[in-house]
Amino acid sequence: MKRILIALMIVSLTFVSLIGCSSSEDASQKSEEDLRAEVQAELDAERAAEAEARAELEAQIRAELEAEQKKEEPASQQPAQQPAQATQPTQPAQQNQPEPAQPKPVVPNLTGFTNETIKGKTINHSNHTAVIIPNYLYYGANANALSRRPFKTGVAEGWEPPVVPVAFFGKAENVQVTHNTIDLIPPYEEEPYLIWDIGTLENTILDVQFLVASERDSYVITGKVKTSTGAYSDFKFRIGHIAVEDGFIFHVEDDVILFN
């Protein structure tokens, strides 16, 4: 009987131990599943966080690239703003008004010079703006009232060329003296040999000392004078010469040139 009881106790203990083992195995199995679930949940959470961070980073990079592209666009592509045009003030209608009378040019006359007669021609200087006398003698009535200016066309050897005094009453401009000579070859045309620019002469006697070589030589004096109308009038006269036994004598084409 004791043996039977002992056997029953052993069987019961064995059964209890088996039940304990199975329960411990179940508990350990359950704890492993829970751990796996927790690990998987953590992995899923980390993956979701990484995906969200990656999306935010991509959005930030895309925004920066778009901003740089906008900065690099040329200004010409942007529509230019037209400045507002200011309204022009309306001008009142101009009434027809008479034009002011143009003042007449003031040209000085030769008041103050003494009237004189040149080769039978009486000259009243106050009636003229300018008077030119190509061969004005030293004993003229106004010889002392004019300044003198010597002018030589050359230097002679062994003799002194004659002097022809040319009187300029008033103001003469662009005065030139031209030495002309006649070509020895047909058609024997007259050509300028030398030209001297005298400039402006005013109330002056130009003592011209002409140097001549032959009867082919002559001198032409040119210039211009302002008249009472304000316009200019040109003048031109020739001083030729005639060969004589002792040399040359000069012949003047014009005795007096008058300008009104």
Pair 63, 127 in one domain: no
User: Which residue has better confidence, 73 or 178?
Assistant: 178
Widest CA span of the chain, in angstroms?
207
Per-residue pLDDT at 168: 96
pLDDT, position 44: 86
State both tokens at 19. 């039940």
* Residue 248 sits in the same domain as residue 121: yes
In a domain, 52, yes or no: yes
Say if 80 falls within a structural domain.
no
Q: Which domain holds residue 52?
A: 2-67
More confident site: 208 or 30: 208
pTM above 0.75, yes or no: no
Query: Would 94 be classed as within a structural domain?
Result: no
Is-contact 215 241, C-beta < 8 A?
A: yes
Whether residues 124 and 36 share a domain: the answer is no
Structure tokens at 109: 């006359």
Specify the amino acid at residue 226.
Answer: K
In a domain, 86, yes or no: no
In a domain, 93, yes or no: no
**Is residue 104 one of the residues assigned to a domain?**
no
Same domain, 235 and 138: yes
**Residue 53: predicted pLDDT:** 81
Average pLDDT of the chain to the nearest whole number: 76
pLDDT at 35: 84
When comparing pLDDT for 136 and 229, which is higher? 229
Give tens-digit pLDDT for 41-59.
888 888 888 888 888 878 8
pLDDT at residue 67 in the model: 81
Mean pLDDT of 169-189: 83
Percent of the chain topping pLDDT 70: 62
Band of pLDDT at residue 195, cut at 50, 70 and 90: very high
Confirm whether 167 is domain-assigned: yes
Q: Residue 194: beta bridge partners?
A: 179
Residue 84 predicted with pLDDT over 60: no
- C-alpha to C-alpha distance for 251 and 249, rounded to whole angstroms: 7
Residues 158 and 217 in one domain: yes
> Domain for residue 190, yes or no?
yes
Distance set, CA 210 to CA 7, 24, 181, 217, 236 (Å): 181, 156, 13, 10, 17
Question: Domain count of the chain?
Answer: 2
**The pLDDT value given to residue 218:** 81
Residues 156 and 254 in one domain: yes
What value does the mean pLDDT take over residues 114-130? 90
Q: What is the mean pLDDT of residues 111-135?
A: 90
Q: Is the same domain home to 59 and 128? A: no
Whether residue 193 is found in the same domain as residue 253: yes
Same domain flag for 138 and 9: no
pLDDT above 70: residue 184:
no
Shared domain check, 139 and 201: yes
The closest alpha carbon to 166, from 140, 197, 191, 195, belongs to 140
Question: Is residue 180 pLDDT above 60, yes or no?
Answer: yes
In a shared domain, residues 43 and 142: no
Average pLDDT of span 140-153: 90
At residue 16 the predicted structure's pLDDT band, cuts being 50, 70 and 90, is: very low
Shared domain for 52 and 138, answered yes or no, is: no
